[in-house]
Structure formats: structure tokens, C-alpha cells
Structure 1
Amino acid sequence: MKKRILKAALLLILLFVSGAHAEEAKPAGTGLDDIKNMLGLSIYLQGGYNYNFENPDSGENRLRVFDHKANSFTLDLAQIVFNKDAAVGGVGYRLKLSAGETAKFIHATGLGINEGDDPAKSDPFDLTEAYIDYVAPLGKGLKFRFGKFVTLHGAEVIEAKDDMNYSRGLLFNFAIPFTHTGLMVGYPFSDKFGVNFYVVNGWDNFKDEGSSKTLGLTVNLTPVEQVSAAFNFMNGREVGGVTGGDTNRFLSDTVITIKPAKNLTFVVNGDYAVQSDAAPDGGDAKWYGIAGYCKYDFSDLFSAALRAEYFDDNDGVRTGTAQKVKEVTFTPEFRVAKNLIVRPEYRHDWSDKHAFDSQHNTLDKKNQDTVALGVMYMW
């Protein structure tokens, strides 16, 4: 699978390079920056160290995904991205290739991972995004996107550099999907109101395993400059019924961002989901939660962020245990050089069930404390 992905990626790169040269109306420069700009090339590197105060023999930080390894240095992500924005009446593209520990957990089913596979043992290479954009010259520009793209749900994303914290929260890990494959159509009615409608294979599915497609809608509002909101909805058939069949899954996701001052940002994220016939008793399974974020920029070189979350996995279908989980995370940020970010972090998780490990036992504690140091570089 890895070889097939890399061959496909190389083919796409060659096509993009050929297209870029064909479109060039005047002689292109030969410098590194000229080539980088011509291809829309960027590189991202992310890694860190995570320490669990219990020093568990299992080596696991429970209820974590990307940062699940305790007391270990980890190469989280090594990404290469080729990107071209589509102008009105033009074509754009995005190709994102990922490698590292994080790449194991963002595979779409049918592309690097299969139903029932252990993500921790999967391929550390992932074709994260590969899509083509076309903006039709209708009104303000009707955008069509076809291919594989990251989800519009949630307040956090795969790359830590674009989040407030180094670790990802409970809602990102368990409440929402990572990527979709299909078609999305978007239109900005004004600077304050826009919509996206999409038809996709489902949650993290490259190959659709449900009996019908999943439909999604995103409504973006910016009533004033300091306030923005995104309302996301998805509904479709997904594998996950207690009888082994596919069932209906609905997700509602809301993200509200408030910037009362230039250097202060508040974010609130709420999720609610229900899947029919997926609970252990054969009934509807539900999960929901809320997260709050606050970040303050003290200067151009230093910021600090705080995140607090509550997640209710009412039937245990997302975390494996019917439980109510909370976490609080404090993350200073140091921008020590151009495009280089360093984030130390302290995080405390706790549950109403025994969901965490002590040193010599598994799942015998109700809380977990970790500290981490994350490093991110963009080129």
C-alpha cells in the first residue's frame, strides 16, 4: 500500500509540475524560492516528548490518539504539501503527504487501513489530502472540490501548528471524523455568510462501506469582525451496528470564535452525535461534548493557551468504555525563530470510570497527568 501511495503521489507531482510550466507565460526563475512558489510547496515537521507521571508499564497515555506514547520521543509528522489556490474561473489543487506517528491514525478506511486493523501498527505514511478545486465564474464564485480533504468539523486540526495546544483534545480524538472523500460545493454569499454542501463516502472512508452516501452542510457566519461561527452537520450510513450491519449516524458540530482584542482569542466547540442500533443493548448510541479555549499573545514571541473539555461517551462506542471524561490543558508557546515554534504543555485528564493506567496495572486509575514538549517547524 505504501508503494502504491508513493507512486501515485509522484505521478501527481509530475503532473502538477508540467501544468505549472505550461501555464507560465514568462521565463521562470531558477532559484529555490521561485521553484517553491511555482509548485506551492511547503514542508512541515513536528515532534515532541511526552512524560506520564505514573510511568505506566503499558507505555500508553490512555484516551489519547496522536500523543498516546508515554515517556517517549516521537516524530509526529513530516509533511510535504503542494498547493495552488483557485481563482474565479480557474483551477487549483492540494496534495498533502504525511509520515510519522500521527499518519498511522488518520488513514481513511480502504486507503492504508482496513476495518478492524490496529492503527498503532498501521503504515506510517498517509495520503492525507488530494483534491482539485474549480471556481465557476458565477456570482462571487461557486467552488467545486473533488477528492480527499480534511473535515470541516471541529475547532482543532491535524497539524499542531494551527491549534492552540500541542496535544489534541477529546472532541477531536473521539467526537468527529478526520477526513472525507467525495464532492464539496461552496458559495460565499457575502463576507458575512457562506455555505458548503458535500456528498462524501462517510467518516474517514476512502471506500464507502455504508449503503448510501453521507451528506454534509456547513454554514459560516461572521456577523462582526470580532465574532465568527461555523455550524456543521453530517448524516449518513456507517458501519457500526451491533449486528454488524450499517446504521445511520448524525453529527452536529458548532465552533464559535470570539476575538475581543487583537491579542486575545476565545473559542467554544460543541458536538452532538447519535448512531442508530450501535449501543451495546442494540439501541441508539450517543456521544456529545463541549470544549473551551483561550489564548493570549503576550508579545510576538510568546503566547499562552488554556483548554478545558467535557466528553460524554454515553454508550462507550467511541472510547471503548461508557464514561464521562474531562481534561484541562495549559500550553505556553515560544516562537523562538522564524517558522519555529516550541510548546511545553501540562495536561490533566480524569474520568468517572477507571480509564487510565498506573505503573504496574492497566485501567485501574480515574485520572492521568502528563507533561509534553512539542516542536514545530514550517518551511
Structure 2
Amino acid sequence: MISVRSLIGIGMCALVSLLGSNTVFAQGPAAAPTGTIQERVAELEKKSDAASLWNTLGFKISGYVDASYVQNFNNPATNVTNMRIFDTQANSFVPQLFQLMLEKPADAGGTGLERAGFRARMNFGAEARFSRARTNFRPGTDNTEMDTQELYAEYIAPLGNGLKIQVGKINTLVGYEVINSFENPNFSRTFMFGLSQAFTTTGIRFTYTFNPMVTAVIGLVNGWDNIEDNNKSKTIEYLLAFTPHPRFGVNWFGTWGGEQSNCQGAGTSQAIPAPPGNTCFNAAGQVIPFGDPSAKRFVNGLIVTVKPTDSDTVILEPYYVNEGNAALDPQKQPSLGGNASGNARWNGMVTYWIHDFNDQQQPHAFSLRGRGEIWEDAGGFR
């Protein structure tokens, strides 16, 4: 007898971070043109060199390197720490990430092409292997340690305060954490992010800032981590940010849409749909995982940020998801002659605490970060 499994994860993590410094070089005033034609031509050639053209176009290039050592005191024989996200390698030094990012931020105050921009973010290393495997471009376990985390174009239309339009693969709106550890409070990620939230979405996104207190975002995407859509429906993503005071802010985020695959191609390119309804078989006649593309996944969450003192920040993230026709009820599986019709539910709560010992905008900034988490997968779906 197979029982419905419930998973509850409780994680605690603390980290002292050391942030590096950035150095900016200013370009001096251009020299006045000299007398001879040859000298003036030489001066013009200098002005059109690659560095000047790069700055004129507004391109920016940046990079990041992340390495780690993780100790598991249980010393698992497989050297794998179960239920972790990116830090699964036990008792091992790991080159987690080498990242290169080329971008041209769109300028809302510019004209013409200055309002257009793009971002291309490439990841290499162990983290890239996990994030790439989450997409349906190379589903499942993928040993390729390269991933295009973000690749999108953007344009700020001159409508009101400026309507930002982004098209491509972008970091998700869902949740507080993102893929890269240096953009999160802690090195490790929550169960809630790694096991129950999207990493990226591919589609079109609109962002509009009404005033310094209110920003709204809405998008139409292929679904969670889908570079290529796995069904005929689209997912709506949304976020509403409200910051009435510098010490208090609330972000309401979510998605709604069909996330399950069509039967065609499920598990094998030769899969075909067959009665009853959602049951799928491969070429050998074996039942394989099916999908109900008409079922909807509803995601709802908040990010509440409170700054009680100049040095302390508290972040709360309650999170809830419900998906139709998805629960792993063994009595409703196709292999037993039925159709899965139960709803899946997963939810959680994460609290972050950040204490800054000095000015975080200055070199050699120190802070202490703590995290507490409760996460539940009531039907074992995730």
C-alpha cells in the first residue's frame, strides 16, 4: 500500500557576509583639436575606439565567482545531502558559479534607442547544472554546467512615468530568493525556493511605477521554468509593490495558469494520449506520467519588509500554492485505472533577519544574517 507522503522542512541558516568594493573610473575632458589635418584625424580615431564606443552605447559587463565548502556531519556514504538545492555536495569543495553578464539598461529619461536595452547572463559551474536541469530545454538530471539564466530585451515606452516592457527569459517574480547566492541574504537557499517556486519565466512582462510608493508588474509567460511551453495555455504572473514608508514595504506576488504537460511527448517522444482521458502510454504500452493542461496552478504570497532600526531588517514571506488534478493519491493514479483528480497543496513561511554592523554601501561591509523556515508539501507533489 502506498501512502500519501507529507514533507515538512524546517531550515535555519546564519551567515556573516563580507562585501567587496567597486571602483569607478571617470573619463577626463576631451582634448581640443590640434592644427594639422593629420592630427585632427588621429584625434577623431581615438574618439571612435572600442572603449569609447562601448561607453557611448551604454554597455556594461560584470562577473562573479562563487566557491564553497559544505560539511555534512552525518557523513552520508553517497556524499549527497538530501533535500538541499544547490549545496547538495557533502564534505566537498565546489566551484559553484562563474557568471558573466552583459547588459545595456534601458534609460527612461533617454530618447529613441536609449530607451531600449537588454541583458544576457551566463552561468557556469555546479549551480548552472541545477538551474539548467529545472528547465524543459534539458529536463531532468543534466551534467551540462552552463545555463543562460537570463536573456531578454527591454524597452521603456514613453507612457506616463514610463512603461517597461521586457521580452525573454527573466528571473521569476515568485518569492524573495533568486538563483544566485550573492543576491540572497544567505549562501544556502530555502526549501520553499528550491522545491516549490519557479526559478525563471519566459515570456513578456510589463512594469509600471505609479509613484515612489506603488509599482505594478504583470506578465504572460510559458509557465514555471519553461523555455518552451509544455502545453497550449499560458501563465499569468503578477506583483504589486507598496512602500508607504522607507522602513516598511509589502510585495504581493503570484501566478495563475496551467503548468502540467500535454500527454504528447510526456516522458518519451513516442508517447500518445489514450483513454481514459489523461492516461498516457509509451511505445511499449507502459503507463507514463501524464498531464492535465486544463488544471490551474494558483500561487499567492507576500514579502513583508520591516526595518525597526537603522541596522536591522526583518523580512517575512508567507506562501501558498494550490494546483488542480495534481495530488499523488495512489487510488487515483492511471496505473490503477483511475484519473488523478485531487488538488495538490504546498505552503510555507520564511523569516529573515539581517543586522548590519556598518554602512553596507562602503567597502569592507559586515552583516549578520539569520533565517528560519517552515515548509510543507501536503500531498507529496513537489
TM-score normalised to the size of structure 1? 0.72
Unaligned stretches of 5+ residues in structure 1: 1-25, 319-379
Distance 1:307-1:29 versus aligned 2 partners, 3 A rule: farther
**Displacement after TM superposition at 1:73 (Å):** 0.8
- Tell me the distance in 1 between the aligned counterparts of 2:233 and 2:50: 49
Distance 1:170-1:36 versus aligned 2 partners, 3 A rule: farther
TM-superposition CA deviations, 1:248-288 (whole Å, max 9, x none): 21111211111222221111111111111111123000000
Distance 1:105-1:36 versus aligned 2 partners, 3 A rule: farther
Aligned to 1:85: 105
Matched, 1:70 2:96: no
Q: 1:185 is aligned with what amino acid?
A: F
Matched, 1:226 2:274: no
Q: 1:39 is aligned with what amino acid?
A: F
Distance 1:284-1:43 versus aligned 2 partners, 3 A rule: same
Aligned to 1:134: 155
Matched, 1:60 2:106: no
- Higher relative contact order (Cα pairs below 8 Å, separated by 6+ residues): 2
- Tell me the distance in 2 between the aligned counterparts of 1:314 and 1:36: 54
Matched, 1:309 2:368: no
Q: What RMSD in Å do the two structures reach over aligned CA positions?
A: 2.2
Aligned to 1:277: 325
Contact 1:60 1:69 in 2 (8 A): yes
**Displacement after TM superposition at 1:109 (Å):** 2.9
Q: 1:63 is aligned with what amino acid?
A: M
Aligned to 1:289: 348
Unaligned stretches of 5+ residues in structure 2: 1-45, 263-277, 280-289, 330-339, 360-364
Distance 1:38-1:315 versus aligned 2 partners, 3 A rule: same
- Tell me the distance in 1 between the aligned counterparts of 2:247 and 2:322: 32
Contact 2:173 2:237 in 1 (8 A): no
| Larger strand share, 1 or 2 | 1
TM-superposition CA deviations, 1:142-192 (whole Å, max 9, x none): 111001101011111211112111100111111210001000011111110
TM-superposition CA deviations, 1:214-241 (whole Å, max 9, x none): 0111101101111111111101111269
Q: 1:302 is aligned with what amino acid?
A: F
Aligned to 2:33: none
Aligned to 1:299: 358
- Tell me the distance in 1 between the aligned counterparts of 2:73 and 2:304: 34
**Displacement after TM superposition at 1:122 (Å):** 3.0
Q: 2:345 is aligned with what amino acid?
A: K
2:291 to 245, 260, 276: 245
- Tell me the distance in 1 between the aligned counterparts of 2:203 and 2:148: 15
- Tell me the distance in 1 between the aligned counterparts of 2:172 and 2:234: 16
TM-score normalised to the size of structure 2? 0.71
Matched, 1:147 2:173: no
Contact 2:173 2:238 in 1 (8 A): no
- Tell me the distance in 1 between the aligned counterparts of 2:70 and 2:313: 26
Residue correspondences, number:
288
Distance 1:36-1:138 versus aligned 2 partners, 3 A rule: closer
Runs of 4+ in 1 over 4 A off after TM superposition: 28-32, 34-38, 240-243
Matched, 1:50 2:70: yes
Aligned to 2:123: 98
- Tell me the distance in 1 between the aligned counterparts of 2:90 and 2:242: 40
SS at match of 1:174: helix
Contact 2:85 2:191 in 1 (8 A): no
- Tell me the distance in 2 between the aligned counterparts of 1:99 and 1:262: 37
Aligned to 1:211: 232
Matched, 1:40 2:60: yes
TM-superposition CA deviations, 1:295-351 (whole Å, max 9, x none): 101235321111000001101111xxxxxxxxxxxxxxxxxxxxxxxxxxxxxxxxx
SS at match of 1:140: coil
Matched, 1:169 2:190: yes
Identity of aligned residues (%): 33
- Tell me the distance in 2 between the aligned counterparts of 1:239 and 1:123: 25
Contact 1:135 1:143 in 2 (8 A): yes
Distance 1:164-1:152 versus aligned 2 partners, 3 A rule: same
Contact 2:223 2:258 in 1 (8 A): yes
Pairwise mapping of residues 325-364 of structure 1 onto structure 2 (< 5 A)?
A: none
Aligned to 1:109: 135
Aligned to 1:268: 316
Q: 2:315 is aligned with what amino acid?
A: V
Distance 1:240-1:51 versus aligned 2 partners, 3 A rule: farther
